[in-house]
């Protein structure tokens, strides 16, 4: 493709400095918008024909040419020329080579400002769809693994200290809940991205031509044209919200990854990652490193940084379009790829890891995990909780000082601390009872965990069907 004149070329007497041309070119990354640019251009061409601004023969030529370009791009045969600056000019120039001067009619009534805002909205809608699929796939893996471990018990932790016993299934269902909220955020964003079409807003003030913005909005799956032309080209709310949703999602994934790293250490030894999701050491032959989880954990910083980057770009921009907005795309593209990859890798690592249920059960035998149950026995004997808490705190200190098992204390031993104790610690404390008596909604009792698994499984199946039914549309 030969070097073409810039669209503003008649205004300028000199060609662009090569250094600035390289500095300002965006086609190296905004070519990711190619399919969306072509889709928007086809809708725009058909609208121009419907209002009589171009002939039906022109419409047919433009659509046929654009569809041929789409095939070229998908086949990897399209030459992207950095001298043409961006994806819009690359497509326009190549279209002119294919269909001749009629290509010059396509830009009637639009600017690259509303064009790129439309392309980005279409791209983000598809990314929201893909990420929802990734989140549903990860939730499915967690539910499958959780169902295998309904009766696997381990300590739950607060402040990284052993706290109370829980079922492993209950623990993993916590991440299912988190990811369900992540998925809901992307679903809601997808709907918002479909509410208003920027196309037809022009550079900032619309057009004097008799455009039918409702026509292009409907053709591209938007509910209506954007209500304000200046807002349509100046705003990047959708990109910011996408980055924010992704940052939250990555933080949730990072927390899960951190547990995989901890649990796979010799100090915990609760799990072992599969070889396929681990690496070794170039020096120490015994090492097996949880690199898949570590990289997911690290990449959360990258995604958070992308959000901060675009927030910083946007914070001082006056209305309407400014070239600063070229900087919106690389953070968005990088975040979309990073999040999709992290979801896939995390799902694979979870699906293939080995759980050491005996090691978990051994850690859950720590009698101090039942100290709260001992305090609640006093509450049932009509003591205020604060008094019961203080009493059991003294008992725990007594046991630690003498290296005693809490469950070894007789009724008389307990009554030395408070006469309200109705029985010995062995009678009052039971790991199985501690789990089963937490039978309220959201608790770790077996029947509640089974109910939660069934509900999650049904929701995932329903939401997968809904996602399939709407295809790429919200």
Tell me, yes or no, if 389 is annotated catalytic.
no
May I ask the CATH architecture of the domain 9-108? Orthogonal Bundle (1.10)
- Is-contact 67 42, C-beta < 8 A? yes
Confirm if 4 and 94 have CB atoms less than 8 A apart.
no
The contacts of residue 300 (CB under 8 Å, 6+ apart) are: 247, 250, 251, 253, 254
Q: How far is CA 465 from the centre of its chain?
A: 20
Residue 374 near residue 395 (C-beta atoms within 8 A):
yes
6 Cβ partners below 8 Å, 6+ apart? Answer: 12, 16, 85, 89
Cα–Cα dist 130/339, whole Å: 10
Is residue 230 within 8 Å of residue 196, measured between CB atoms?
no
- What is the CATH number assigned to the segment(s) 366-437? 1.10.40.30
Contact assessment for residue 433 and residue 371, using Cβ atoms and an 8 Å cutoff: no
**Cβ 179 vs Cβ 153: under 8 Å:** no
Instruction: Please list the alpha-helical segments (H only) found in 151-264.
Output: 168-193, 213-219, 229-234, 237-263
Contacts of 434 (CB under 8 A, 6+ apart): 164, 165, 369, 370, 373
Q: How far apart are CA 364 and CA 448, in angstroms?
A: 20
Domain boundaries, the chain: 9-108, 119-203+224-358+453-470, 366-437
Angle, CA 423 vertex, CA 418 and CA 428 arms, to 5°: 105
- Four-residue CA torsion sign, 24, 27, 28, 29: positive
Q: From the candidates 101, 159, 282, 440, which is the catalytic residue?
A: 159
The answer for residues whose C-beta is within 8 angstroms of residue 44's C-beta and 6 or more apart is: 106, 109, 110, 199, 216
Question: Helices 291-314 & 329-352, crossing angle to 10 degrees?
Answer: 160
Q: Are 289 and 280 in contact (CB under 8 A)?
A: yes
pLDDT tens track for 61-71? 999 999 999 99
Bond before 320 cis per omega within 30 degrees: yes
Fold held by 119-203+224-358+453-470: Fumarase C; Chain A, domain 2 (1.20.200)
Given 44, 140, 194, 281, which residue is catalytic? 281
Per-residue pLDDT of the chain (474 residues; tens, 9 = 90+): 344 456 655 677 677 788 887 888 898 899 999 999 999 999 999 999 999 999 999 999 999 999 999 999 999 999 999 888 899 999 999 999 999 999 999 999 999 999 999 999 999 999 999 999 999 999 999 999 999 999 999 999 999 999 999 999 999 999 999 999 999 999 999 999 999 999 999 999 999 999 999 999 999 999 999 999 999 999 999 999 999 999 999 999 999 999 999 999 999 999 999 999 999 999 999 999 999 999 999 999 999 999 999 999 999 999 999 999 999 999 999 999 999 999 999 999 999 999 999 999 999 999 999 999 999 999 999 999 999 999 999 999 999 999 999 999 999 999 999 999 999 999 999 999 999 999 999 999 999 999 999 999 999 999 999 999 876 554
pTM score, two decimals? 0.93
Res 1: pLDDT: 39
- d(Cα 270, Cα 287) in Å, to the nearest integer? 17
pLDDT at 3: 45
| Catalytic site includes residue 281 | yes
What whole-number distance in Å separates Cα of residue 172 and Cα of residue 402? 36
Alpha-carbon distances, residue 242 vs 143, 183, 186, 382 (angstroms): 26, 12, 7, 52
């Amino acid at each position: 493709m030969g070097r073409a004149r810039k669209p503003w070329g008649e205004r300028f007497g000199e060609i662009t400095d090569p250094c600035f041309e390289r500095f300002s070119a965006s086609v190296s990354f905004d070519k990711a918008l190619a399919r969306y640019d072509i889709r928007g251009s086809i809708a725009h061409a058909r609208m121009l024909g419907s209002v009589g601004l171009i002939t039906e023969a022109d419409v047919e030529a433009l659509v046929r040419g654009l569809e041929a370009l789409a095939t070229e791009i998908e086949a990897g045969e399209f030459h992207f020329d950095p001298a043409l600056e961006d994806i819009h000019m690359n497509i326009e120039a190549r279209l002119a080579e294919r269909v001749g001067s009629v290509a010059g009619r396509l830009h009637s009534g639009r600017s690259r400002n509303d064009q790129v805002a439309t392309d980005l909205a279409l791209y983000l809608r598809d990314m929201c769809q893909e990420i929802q699929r990734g989140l549903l796939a990860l939730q499915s893996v967690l539910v499958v693994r959780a169902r295998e471990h309904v009766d696997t018990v381990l300590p739950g932790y607060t402040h990284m200290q052993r706290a109370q016993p829980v079922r492993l299934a209950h623990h993993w269902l916590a991440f299912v809940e988190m990811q369900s909220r992540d998925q809901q955020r992307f679903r809601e964003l997808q709907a918002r991205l479909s509410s208003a079409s920027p196309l037809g807003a022009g550079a900032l003030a619309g057009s004097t031509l008799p455009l039918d913005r409702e026509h292009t909005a409907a053709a591209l799956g938007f509910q209506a044209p954007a209500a304000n032309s200046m807002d349509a080209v100046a705003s990047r709310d959708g990109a910011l919200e996408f980055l924010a949703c992704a940052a939250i999602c990555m933080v949730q994934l990072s927390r899960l990854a951190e547990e995989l790293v901890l649990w796979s250490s010799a100090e915990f030894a609760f799990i072992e990652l599969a070889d396929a999701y681990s690496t070794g050491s170039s020096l120490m032959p015994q090492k097996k490193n949880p690199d898949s989880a570590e990289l997911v954990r690290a990449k959360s910083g990258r995604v958070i940084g992308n959000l901060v980057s675009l927030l910083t770009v946007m914070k001082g921009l006056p209305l309407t379009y400014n070239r600063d907005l070229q900087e919106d795309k690389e953070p968005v593209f990088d975040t979309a790829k990073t999040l999709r990859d992290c979801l896939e890798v995390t799902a694979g690592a979870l699906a293939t890891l080995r759980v050491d249920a005996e090691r978990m059960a051994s850690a859950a035998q720590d009698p101090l995990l039942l100290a709260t149950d001992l305090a609640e026995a006093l509450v049932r004997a009509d003591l205020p909780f604060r008094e019961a808490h203080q009493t059991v705190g003294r008992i725990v200190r007594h046991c630690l000082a003498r290296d005693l098992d809490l469950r070894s204390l007789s009724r008389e031993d307990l009554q030395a601390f408070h006469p309200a104790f109705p029985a010995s610690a062995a009678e009052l404390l039971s790991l199985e009872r501690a789990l089963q008596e937490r039978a309220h909604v959201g608790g770790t009792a077996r029947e509640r965990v089974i109910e939660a698994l069934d509900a999650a499984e049904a929701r995932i199946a329903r939401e997968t069907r809904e996602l399939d039914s709407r295809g790429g549309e919200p």
